[in-house]
Amino acid sequence: MVQARIDFLEKGHFEPLANAVIATAQRFSGKQPLVLDVGAGTGYYLNALQEQVSVSAAVALDISKYALRRSARLLPDALCLVCDVWRPLPVAGESVDLLLNIFAPRNVPEFARVCRDEGVALVVTPLPHHLREIAEPAGLLDIRPGKDIEVAASMADFFDVVDNVRVEFTMALSPVDVSNVATMGPAGHHNLPGDVDPLPHSADTTAAFSVQVFRRRPRTRD
Ligand SMILES: C[S@@+](CC[C@H](N)C(=O)[O-])C[C@H]1O[C@@H](n2cnc3c(N)ncnc32)[C@H](O)[C@@H]1O
């Protein structure tokens, strides 16, 4: 799964999404943010962000040591920590200016604890028609409609929604790309290598995401 993700992302297929993440981060976070990427995987988005935005510190968290090894190579200045998002995050309270959560699990109470007042959480989820052209032949799992709304509802105790941008583009995928994209995501747990029959021809494939921005509501202090 990790190598498939590296191979797919290195070909630049998700670059428009990375650009949207960077533009959104520049719009909503202050200067020199402390950035925490929860479920950073191979570090692709944190690296793209760091190339454009001067950060005071960057921290990548992931449960996969294999993915984080790649992050650590890509991001020599970042702190890369193996941890389970469902346990207390190894990050001080009220320290994070910009939290990234891209196709990864969300522990909202912990996000709320680590984000400073007015800090920003940027959450990316796929839309139902993401990869629709190859979903069936590649054996991908369905993406529930309204997932972005569910995310917003789950954040509502601590965060206000300040933006929800839809990012859509078409990717020209080779059969190898199709195989990689099918094994790198959640469907990869179901599609073991060899299970996916690569499409015989290149496929023009839709990429469709919701990029939601949440602002940490200031804590009430007595
Ligand atoms: C679909 S990948 C996305 C990775 C990265 N954000 C990207 O888009 O390239 C989901 C990531 O969440 C991580 N993950 C899954 N469960 C986790 C958990 N309980 N704690 C921390 N990370 C987890 C996986 O290891 C994986 O790297």
Report d(CA 220, CA 138) in Å as an integer.
49
203-216/115-126 β-pairing: antiparallel
Residue 11 CA: distances (Å) to CA of 1, 8, 120, 222? 16, 6, 29, 52
Instruction: Report the interhelical angle of 15-28 vs 44-52 (nearest 10°).
Output: 50
Q: What is the pLDDT of residues 75-86, one digit of tens each?
A: 999 999 999 999
Residue type, position 131, single letter: L
Domain ranges of the chain: 14-171+210-216
Neighbouring-strand partners of residue 61: 38, 81
Residue 155 CA: distances (Å) to CA of 49, 50, 58, 118, 204? 23, 26, 23, 14, 34
Report d(CA 90, CA 133) in Å as an integer.
40
With a CB cutoff of 8 Å and minimum separation 6, the contacts of 73 are: none
Ligand 1 pocket check for 43: Cβ under 6 Å: no
Which residue owns the Cα nearest ligand 1 atom 7?
Answer: 41
Confidence of residue 193 (pLDDT cuts 50, 70, 90): low
Q: Per-residue pLDDT averaged across 200-218, rounded?
A: 90
Which of 3-7, 27-31, 143-147, 202-206 is the least confident region?
202-206
| Residue whose CB lies within 8 A of the most ligand 1 atoms, among 42, 63, 81, for a mutation test | 63
Task: Report how far ligand 1's centroid is from the alpha carbon of 218 (Å).
Answer: 28
Which of the four CATH numbers 3.40.640.10, 3.40.50.150, 1.10.4080.10, 1.10.1370.40 does domain 14-171+210-216 have?
A: 3.40.50.150
Closest CA relative to residue 191, chosen from 175, 203, 201, 180: 180
Q: What is the pLDDT of residues 36-61, one digit of tens each?
A: 999 999 999 999 999 999 999 999 99
Q: Is the pLDDT of residue 184 over 90?
A: no
Ligand 1 pocket check for 67: Cβ under 6 Å: yes
Ligand 1 pocket check for 105: Cβ under 6 Å: yes
Which residue owns the Cα nearest ligand 1 atom 27?
Answer: 41
Task: Report how far ligand 1's centroid is from the alpha carbon of 85 (Å).
Answer: 9
On whether the CB atoms of residues 38 and 217 are closer than 8 A, the answer is no
Helix residue ranges, H only, the chain: 2-10, 15-28, 44-52, 65-74, 108-114, 132-135, 147-155, 175-184
- Return the ligand 1 atom nearest residue 185 CA: 1
With a CB cutoff of 8 Å and minimum separation 6, the contacts of 14 are: 8, 44, 207
- Select the more confidently predicted residue: 156 or 181: 156
Q: Per-residue pLDDT averaged across 144-163, rounded?
A: 96
Report d(CA 60, CA 70) in Å as an integer.
11
Task: Report how far ligand 1's centroid is from the alpha carbon of 220 (Å).
Answer: 32
Task: Report how far ligand 1's centroid is from the alpha carbon of 102 (Å).
Answer: 8
Q: What is the pLDDT of residue 198?
A: 56
Ligand 1 pocket check for 66: Cβ under 6 Å: no
Q: Per-residue pLDDT averaged across 197-220, rounded?
A: 86
Q: What is the pLDDT of residues 96-123, one digit of tens each?
A: 999 999 999 999 999 999 999 999 999 9
Phi/psi for 67 (5° steps) reads -65, -45
Q: Is the pLDDT of residue 203 over 90?
A: no
Confidence of residue 189 (pLDDT cuts 50, 70, 90): very low
